[in-house]
Structure formats: structure tokens, C-alpha cells
Structure 1
Amino acid sequence: MTQHKLIEMTRSLVAHGEADTMEYADEVVRIPVSSYTDPQLFEREKKQIFKRLPLMVAPSCELPEPGDYKAMDICGVPLLLTRQKDGTVAAFLNMCTHRGNPIAEGIGNASRFLCGYHGWTFKNNGELLGVASPQDFGKIDKAAHCLTRFPCYESAGLIWATLDPKSKLDIADYLCGYDELLSAFGFENWHLFSQRTLPGPNWKTAYDGYLDFYHLPVLHKDTFGADFYNRANYFAFGPHQRLSTPTKFAVKVQSDDDQQIDLTQIADEDLSYEVLVQGVWTIFPHISIASFYGGGLRGAMISQLFPGSEVGESFTTQYYVMEQEPDDEAKIKAAHEQFDFLEIVVRDEDYKTGKRQHEALQSGMMEHVLFGRNEKGGQVFHQWVDKLVNASDDDLQGIFRREMAEAAE
């Protein structure tokens, strides 16, 4: 099923490339500027989307061993991820059930967590192990004071969590079968090479860029080049989208001369996974995955975007993951150079432009921005934001069950 779908998408891209065509949206769409600048809408988006929908919180290779943990804050919610003895991942509210003090910070490996305020101790499976000075504190049911557990799901080498312990939305349904396609990367066996966090503009301004090839040869003329492609076809799986340029060619990047491969001359069964997963894969509402090569080694940058504290702020953690861990100085240097190059592209071109754009929009001198027929990904993204911001908790289950059923057809 996964292989068949990937081949089907690739052949569609090749056919459009041969014909020098692309798929278009039905019309040019107007999005209100207030969608980017309204502080009240921004707070509602954080509540209805980021605190209610499944979020990709870590690549699996960030927590490879039992006992590994990661503490992070998402829109004011403290989250603790832990790898259990049986290899599964659990997600908890990072708050001691005594007074709410966070019990962990950063990353590390631990079988238990000691609250630094009063000394209550928790197992890494969330159980309350011990109360400090129990003879003085008084009788307490420890089973009723375990860490609050969030829904958690691991698939395709990625970890999702929902920041609502009462959520009834099944994470697998939410993904609409998209994780099966993402499994083609094989991320569960990859290595986390490096990571960093960058400040950015309004989260939707930032995310628009991940769904847009139209800007590539203009904004990135000094990095990617002015002759870089600017067309993309879009494949949607619920709110999640893959975008890739319509072309019959692929580049054999591991060759010395970046040799072009004519895909019309290659049989389906001979198409490599590197070809089948080309392009950018986005996971609603905040993830972008793009493949790269550093020193001839296959890698990917997973960009994890979250809203900041104000409407014009966001932050993005960039994970550079590699299929094989570099094993000599030359390969390590090349991988760092690739990752550093991508920082320049995003920080100094995409996000710098996004911040200037947002400041201009806040002037109130424009009522709408435009998404052309060639910018279908942005149109679909904003449609889903509006739909899910206004959906009730009960609506969510029905929305994604229907999407999952359609994806299975």
C-alpha cells in the first residue's frame, strides 16, 4: 500500500514534468490580514490547535534508549517525554502532584525523578514512588497522585503527544494514514546529528513558507540559485500535505557531478526511496520534513514550529537527522556545513523576511493577503486552521474518522 502510493505520486509528478504542467487550485484565495495579526485569534489558535490536537514532539532518535527523557514547554504547557523499559514512549504533564513544580528539565536519562522543591519522587512511568517525610505529611493515596498522562503515539520514527489528558481524538485517526507514508524514510533507525532553536515570525507566517515553492528562486536566489524551481504539486492526507516539484528528473546526489536521472527510463520497482520521498512533507500544524545530503550521507531536516508568547513570535527547533552516523572528520564537517547552510536559509532569508512581512501587516494598511492558484498548499493549510479552530471537541472525532476512512479507500 505505502510503496504503491509513493510510486503513484511519483508518476504523477513525472507526467506533469513531461508535459510542463502543474496542478492548480480552483481560484485565487484571499486571507484576512487579521488572521496573522489579531492577538485574540492567536490565543484561540494556541488553545484550539496546539493545546488540543496531536503534536509531533520529538523524533524517536532523540530518545533512543530506555530511561531517556526530554522536558519541553509548548504554549505554556510543561511536557515530559520518557522512554520506558519496554521501549515505548510516555508523555506526562511535567508538574509534581504536590505543588506543581516541574520535576525535570532539559534532556537526560533517569529511571526516576526527584522534585527539587520538596523531594517527592516519581518513576519514569509516572508513578508516585515516595513522599518526603511521610510520617509528617500525612496519609495520601500515592496511586491517585501519579503524574498526569497525556495521549502519546509513536510511529514512523516520530513521537506525537496531545496536550489534553481527556482527549478522545485517536492520534492514528488524526494522521489519516500519513504516518504509513512517512515510514518510507525509516527514521526509527536514523541518528540525531544536531539540533538548534531559532526565533521566527507569527507561526502561520512561518508555516506558509514551508508550504511554498513559489518563493524559492526569488528569496533564495543567493543560496539555492535564481534558476531553482518554483512549482509544486500537493498531495493531501487530511490536513497533512506533501509538496514536490513536477519533474521527470531526479538528481543522483551521491555522484561526483550531481548526475540527473530520467525517471521515465526507470521501472517502478527500481525507483529508490530517495526518489519516492523527494520534496517537503508537512505534518499539521507545525512540522516540515525535507531531505538533504551532507558529505554524500543522506539526512533530513525536521523543523518543529511552535507559537511564541506574542502574536508576532514563534520558535522553531531544527533537528538534523542522518540515516548513518558520520564516522570520520570529513563526513562530520560536511554534515555540519549542510546544517549551517540550512540555518542561513531559514534564519536570514525565510524568517527575516517573515518578520518584516508581519511588521508591515501590523500597520493595518492591508485587509487581505493573496494565495494564488499555484499556492494550493497555503490555501489548504488556512482552510484547515479555520476549520479546526472552530470545531468542537466532539466534532474533532468525526472529522478525522471521516478523513481516515477516505484515506483507506
Structure 2
Amino acid sequence: MQAGLPEITVSRKSSAPGFEDNDMSREQLIEMTRSLIAHGDAGTMELADEVVRIPASTYTDEALFEREKKQIFRRLPLMVAPSCELPNPGDYKAMDIAGVPLLLTRQRDGSVGAYLNMCTHRGNPVASGSGNATRFTCGYHGWTFKNDGALIGVASPQDFGAVDKAALCLTKFPVYESAGLIWATLDPNSKLSIADYLCGYDGLLEAFGFKDWYLFSQRTLSGPNWKTAYDGYLDFYHLPVLHANTFGADFYNRANYYEYGPHQRLSTPSKFAIKVQSDDDGQIDLTKLSDEEIPDEVLVQGVWTIFPHISIASFYGGGLRGAMISQLFPGDKVGESFTTQFYVMEKKPSDEVAIKAAHEQFDFLEIVVRDEDYKTGKRQHEALQSGLMKDVLFGRNERGGQVFHTWAAKLLEASDDDLVEMFAREAQREAAE
């Protein structure tokens, strides 16, 4: 289970700031939850119309992989950081995505900037790693830039010659911050609205309240082909089999899917929620609660995916509410990917017991993903590279994978203008519903 939810959990007191400002989002989440409760009570789930075949070469074709990096990861908005990774003015991080060096900065006014991390003199990166800085000096010739991208210093200007500094600022990328998450598009000339691309999905993600959360820990894991890895985030079917030794052989394997353009939420149909931080153990029968009584944690349970590379799922480390945000990128080769796991928490643990429990939860999730999901995915990829299997199957109970691969194929072929029109329509459709 790529960062799936072990239980539907309920604390004694729940609070998600996003709900207070977005009644429409809460109504949509209530509607989803009532559907999940009804299916859980009836012992049913929503099914796709048919079993779907996907060419096995989708995962192994090197030419296709290179096109995916260019057409998907270098054209579409990507969730590049949780807001709590850059909480203060001056905070920055540098990262490489599909061959593009990116620099993110939190500026004095609180906004976020996204820049091509290349000095406009010779192209050397001006920053590495992460930290806090108001300016960046290139380590090659000493040109200096403010953290808003402005060129403010040319070394030995009397020798270099006259230049227009305003024309030599760091190249800006489109950037968008919403719901406590930061998106950037790695095409400085992109006309695709990031808000349109999200199709209103960020309005639902607002319910987590991430903008006020704390980044507890993070790490990066190596994985298989990016689509092989992403398939797992959209699949509860494998949970009681692959994770029998971690989550248990009686774990649920059903999921209902909710689509917002290419972005999907999957959640298990159930009428019960497990109590956490409560005076009495046991579970709550959600069929007996009014809409107002359904806790916020229940409304956002499940796995939330943001196309093409993000998974978000809730957890409780030592009784403290948290979430693992998994950020997946393709590697250098078709059979490689890497995933940064961010463990964010609603509140910073305040004592050694809580800190230890949060670390134990995060370490447990590393074992599940690294030693079960990704280890299996790597073996799967090696087998598919034999070329002896023509198609892979996605069953009627695996609609998330069907939707994902349909969108991946469609966006791969879409022109830049197609993207603008496509997501403008999707955003309008979602707003009308």
C-alpha cells in the first residue's frame, strides 16, 4: 500500500481549518462519505464497466519514457513542496525534476517564487540543497541574485562589460500555492492555468488544513518505473496480499474512486470508524451520526492522488494526527524512479514519547513502501522487460488505474493549446457540478 490508510480513525476532537472557510467542500466530502457508508453497510463497492488491458510496453519502452518526461513532467503543473517545507521568508530548496534544475524560494511578502536554477551568465546552478537566504551567489564567477530572481551583482563589472541586469534575472516558472501545497510548471512559457489544472480538487484538499501543519521528517526512496510505482497508490486490491505481514491478511481490499480531472481520491467503503484518543476503545457506527457529527478526519480518510505523481494519506503517530505526502518523480532510466516522503503533522510533537511514536509510524511506512511496494515493483519491471507479456490487466475493481492510464495517454498526445482548452473545460465542469 503506497501510503494507504490503516484504519478510518477518529480523535476525540477534530479540527480542520479549511472546513470553516469552505462549506461547499464540506458538502462534497459529506456526500462522498455518505456514499462510502452506504456501500459499506451494504457490503458493496463501485465498479468500472469492464476489465481493461494496457500494453506491457507502457512500462518498459525507453522512447515512451523520454516522451513522458518531456510531455508530462516538463509541461504539467507538479506539486513541488508542501508549504510547511518553506514556512519562513528566505527559506529555499533546490531540486532536479526530469532534467530541469528548480529553485523554490519563500519571499519577503510570503509568496513563493519558482525559478530555473541556472545562472544567466553560464548556466551554473546558483543554489543547492535547502536553507534560508536572501540572495544566491553563483559559485563559478560570483554573479549574485536576490531570492526573487533579480540579478543584483556582476563580478568585476568594469572588466566584464555593460549588461542589462533586468534582462538577466533568473528565469521564472509559473507557480501556485493552495491548500498548503506548492505547484510549479517547468515551462516558463506555459499558458496552462494551474488552478484550472487542479479542477477544484485543491478546494477539497484545503480540508486537511495543511497550511498550518508542521514538517516532522522527510526522506527519499528509490523505486521502479514511475507508472509502476504510481499504480500502487491507486490500488487497494493488493493490500491484504502484499502487506499481509505488515497490515494483516484481513485488511480491506476495496475502494471507491472520485475523479477531479486526472486527480483521484480513493477510499474504502465502510460504515465504521476506529476511535483514537478516546476514553473508550472500539469503533463508531457512522450510520448513526448526523452530517454535523461526522468527524473531519473521517471526511478526508483514504488516499488522495494528484496527477501525475502525488499521494496523500492520513496517519496517527502516537495519537497525533499526521499525513504522509509521497512525491514521485521518474529517474534517469525507464525502470527507475525516486519518491520523497514528507511526514507532516497537524501539531509539532511536544515530548519525547510523542516524537518517538511519530518516528516509529514514519519508519513503519518506509518498510511498507520500500520493502514491499517498491521491491515488488522492481521485480515486476524486470519481468516485464522480457517482452513476453503483451498486456497487463486492470479489473473492474481497479478503476483508479484505468483512469490514470487513460489520462496519461491522453495528455502525452495533447498539444500545449489542447491542454489549456482541456483543463479550462474540466474546471468549468467541476465548478458547475
* TM-score, normalised with respect to structure 1: 0.99
| Number of the residue aligned with 2:277 | 254
CA distance in 2, matches of 1:255, 1:129: 57
- From the superposition, tell whether residues 316 and 360 of structure 1 become closer, same or farther in structure 2 (CA, over 3 Å): same
Residue 273 of structure 1, CA deviation:
1.1
SS of match in other structure, 1:90: strand
CA distance in 1, matches of 2:362, 2:355: 11
CA distance in 1, matches of 2:365, 2:281: 19
| Number of the residue aligned with 1:5 | 28
CA distance in 2, matches of 1:296, 1:255: 10
Q: How does 1:301-312 map to 2 (within 5 A)?
A: 301-312=324-335
Q: 1:123 aligns with which of 137, 146, 156?
A: 146
| Number of the residue aligned with 2:347 | 324
SS of match in other structure, 2:35: helix
| Number of the residue aligned with 2:20 | none
1:43 aligns with 2:71: no
Residue 252 of structure 1, CA deviation:
1.4
Q: 1:147 aligns with which of 159, 167, 170?
A: 170
SS of match in other structure, 1:356: helix
CA distance in 1, matches of 2:137, 2:209: 35
Residue 255 of structure 1, CA deviation:
3.4
Superposed structure 1 runs of 4+ greater than 6 Å apart: none
CA distance in 2, matches of 1:260, 1:380: 33
CA distance in 1, matches of 2:296, 2:162: 59
CA distance in 2, matches of 1:315, 1:117: 29
1:99-149 CA deviation, whole Å, 9 max, x = no partner? 000000000000000000000000000000010000000000000000000
1:46-66 CA deviation, whole Å, 9 max, x = no partner? 000000000000000000000
1:57 aligns with 2:108: no
Q: 2:417 aligns with which of 394, 398, 402?
A: 394
Q: How does 1:215-254 map to 2 (within 5 A)?
A: 215-254=238-277
Residue 31 of structure 1, CA deviation:
0.3
Counterpart residue identity of residue 86, structure 1: D
1:84 aligns with 2:111: no
Q: How does 1:1-400 map to 2 (within 5 A)?
A: 1-255=24-278, 259-400=282-423
CA distance in 2, matches of 1:173, 1:11: 28
1:161-217 CA deviation, whole Å, 9 max, x = no partner? 000000000000000000000000000000000000000000000000000000000
- From the superposition, tell whether residues 242 and 365 of structure 1 become closer, same or farther in structure 2 (CA, over 3 Å): same
Residue 254 of structure 1, CA deviation:
2.5
1:372-395 CA deviation, whole Å, 9 max, x = no partner? 000000000000000000000000
| Number of the residue aligned with 2:8 | none
Counterpart residue identity of residue 152, structure 1: V
CA distance in 1, matches of 2:377, 2:276: 30
* TM-score, normalised with respect to structure 2: 0.94
1:199-241 CA deviation, whole Å, 9 max, x = no partner? 0000000000000000000000000000000000000000000
Count of matched residue pairs: 409
Counterpart residue identity of residue 175, structure 1: L
SS of match in other structure, 1:242: strand
1:403 aligns with 2:394: no
CA distance in 1, matches of 2:26, 2:254: 24
SS of match in other structure, 1:407: helix
Counterpart residue identity of residue 209, structure 1: G
SS of match in other structure, 2:387: coil
SS of match in other structure, 2:430: helix
The higher relative CO (CA closer than 8 Å, separation ≥ 6) is in 2
1:297-316 CA deviation, whole Å, 9 max, x = no partner? 00000000000000000000
Structure 1: segments with no counterpart, 5+ residues: none
CA distance in 1, matches of 2:236, 2:177: 30
CA distance in 2, matches of 1:364, 1:130: 55
Residue 258 of structure 1, CA deviation:
5.0
Counterpart residue identity of residue 399, structure 2: K
Residue 250 of structure 1, CA deviation:
1.1
1:7-62 CA deviation, whole Å, 9 max, x = no partner? 00000100111111100000000000010000000000000000000000000000
Of all paired residues, the percent bearing the same amino acid is 80
CA distance in 1, matches of 2:175, 2:273: 37
Residue 272 of structure 1, CA deviation:
1.3
CA distance in 2, matches of 1:59, 1:354: 26
- From the superposition, tell whether residues 258 and 244 of structure 1 become closer, same or farther in structure 2 (CA, over 3 Å): farther
**What is the alpha-carbon root mean square deviation over aligned residues?**
0.7
